[in-house]
Amino acid sequence: MSAIQNQDPAVYTAIVGEKKREAEGLELIASENYVSPAVLEALGTVFTNKYSEGYPGKRYYGGQTYTDQVESLAIERAKQLFGADHVNVQPLSGAPANIAAYFSILEPGDTVLGMDLSHGGHLTHGHPVTYIAKLFKFIRYKTTEEGSIDYDEIERMAKEHKPKLILMGYSAYSREIDYTRVKKIADSVGSLTMADIAHLAGLIAGGEMNNPVPLFDLVTTTTHKTLRGPRGGMIMCKSHLAKAVDKSVFPGFQGGPHENNIAAKAVAFGEALKPEFKEYARQIKKNAKTMENELRELGFKLMFGGTDNHLLLIDVSNKNATGKEAEIALDKAGITVNKNMIPNDPRSPMDPSGIRIGTPAMTTRGMKEAEMVKVAKWMDLAIANRTNEQELAKIKEEVKELCKGFPVPGIGNDSPINR
């Protein structure tokens, strides 16, 4: 009997339920993944007990011998992965990393040119509902009618608005970014550059997508998603911004770092440095391209014309469904996706026209092209039969049978709780 089961049956029941959900269903949410047993183990270590304000060698509390060791490991491994001059691994997640990065170089009222949320950007890139949008002036660029980033338009807007910062990155855009072109635009108007690679970090680390770190002033990322680490954030920057970034993270924005999480980051970065991670990154893209081709054959409308990375944004309105309806139907069929706005969506964010899917989690389980074809067909069948509970239950059983052959790393299909 586990300690949780013995002490807190209610929490234990929820853990077992989540373990069963993950083991028996297909995770297609593009921002989710499964960590390795080693990363999972690191999250539950005694490092969770330790307060460590400050940085390695410069802490405010004593007893930092081993926290310094593990944080230094995470930093050095991240530098090696991305070719970074300086790395701060303390941000608690992606949004705090972005906010700390902004405050390291911007003053209230400064102008930032970033991607519009409805065209693939992120909330923290200046959406009006966020508090950060009240402090800085965000100018948002959009994609073209063909679904690509219009670099000529970015250049025009940069010349017109003279932003302090040009921000690249996205959460629902499926194409590559020309960071070299953006850097030239920024240099021409005297702007700083920042890239949010939260979705792409693992593909960049695996050599499968362009790397902005050697070019840009600041690069932020989450450490989960394609990087397959614990939920957390990270900031990489040029040497001349190191002090400003560190000061912005602590004491500027947050207090004591979560050293258990940083230990897990160190483990994940070590995994990403291994040759097999490159093959994993390649397979993510192969699987995404297979999904693209199969879904197109099935009549789905793909935003941005397809994918160069791990995700696809799909307009399901031509299937006479809304994104919310598709999400609910797929959930009942054991396939987890998220409803998502499409460019110039006439519908609301809580009931949009699209869904977003990704292949990182399925790839982590060992699924390849043949499985992607099956999943695409199940998706089509589930959306077409979204009001047919019997048909959805049948698909769910077929999904469950497939999943038996591809255990979730770290929990398997037979362990009572995460080990």
Q: What is the chain's pLDDT, residue by residue, as a tens digit (419 residues)?
A: 789 999 999 999 999 999 999 999 999 999 999 999 999 999 999 999 999 999 999 999 999 999 999 999 999 999 999 999 999 999 999 999 999 999 999 999 999 999 887 777 788 888 888 899 999 999 999 888 777 899 999 999 999 999 999 999 988 899 999 999 999 999 999 999 999 999 999 999 999 999 999 999 999 999 999 999 999 999 999 999 999 999 999 999 999 999 999 999 999 999 999 999 999 999 999 999 999 999 999 999 999 999 999 999 999 999 999 999 999 999 999 999 999 999 889 999 999 999 999 999 999 999 999 999 999 999 999 999 999 999 999 999 999 999 999 999 977 544 444 44
Annotated active-site residue 225? The verdict is yes
Q: How far is CA 126 from CA 102, 134, 293, in A?
A: 11, 9, 33
Q: How far is CA 63 from CA 66, 324, 332, in A?
A: 8, 50, 50
Q: Using one digit for the tens of pLDDT, what is the confidence trace for 396-414?
A: 999 999 999 999 997 754 4
- Exactly one of 137, 181, 231, 374 is catalytic; name it: 231
Annotated active-site residue 76? The verdict is no
Q: Is the dihedral of CA 297, 302, 304, 309 positive or negative?
A: negative
Q: What is the pLDDT of residue 303?
A: 94
> How many angstroms separate the first and last alpha carbons of the chain?
12
Percent of the chain clearing pLDDT 90 (strictly above): 90
Annotated active-site residue 51? The verdict is yes
Q: What is the pLDDT of residue 406?
A: 97
Kindly provide the residue ranges of all beta strands, DSSP E only, lying in 238-319, ordered along the sequence. Answer: 301-302, 311-315
Q: How far is CA 54 from CA 68, 219, 235, 259, in A?
A: 10, 21, 16, 12
Q: What is the pLDDT of residue 123?
A: 81
- Exactly one of 32, 53, 85, 176 is catalytic; name it: 53
- Exactly one of 51, 85, 368, 377 is catalytic; name it: 51
- Exactly one of 193, 222, 223, 322 is catalytic; name it: 222
Q: How far is CA 285 from CA 32, 82, 110, 203, 402, in A?
A: 15, 19, 37, 8, 21
Annotated active-site residue 53? The verdict is yes
Annotated active-site residue 187? The verdict is no
> Domains along the chain?
40-272 (3.40.640.10), 278-404 (3.90.1150.10)
What is 186-245 written as a DSSP string?
A: HHHHT-EEEEE-TTTHHHHHTTSS---TTT-SEEEEESSGGG---S-EEEEE-GGGHHHH
- Exactly one of 196, 246, 294, 308 is catalytic; name it: 196
Q: What is the pLDDT of residue 418?
A: 44
Annotated active-site residue 231? The verdict is yes
Burial class (CB in 10 A: 0-12, 13-18, 19+), 72: middle
- Exactly one of 59, 164, 183, 225 is catalytic; name it: 225
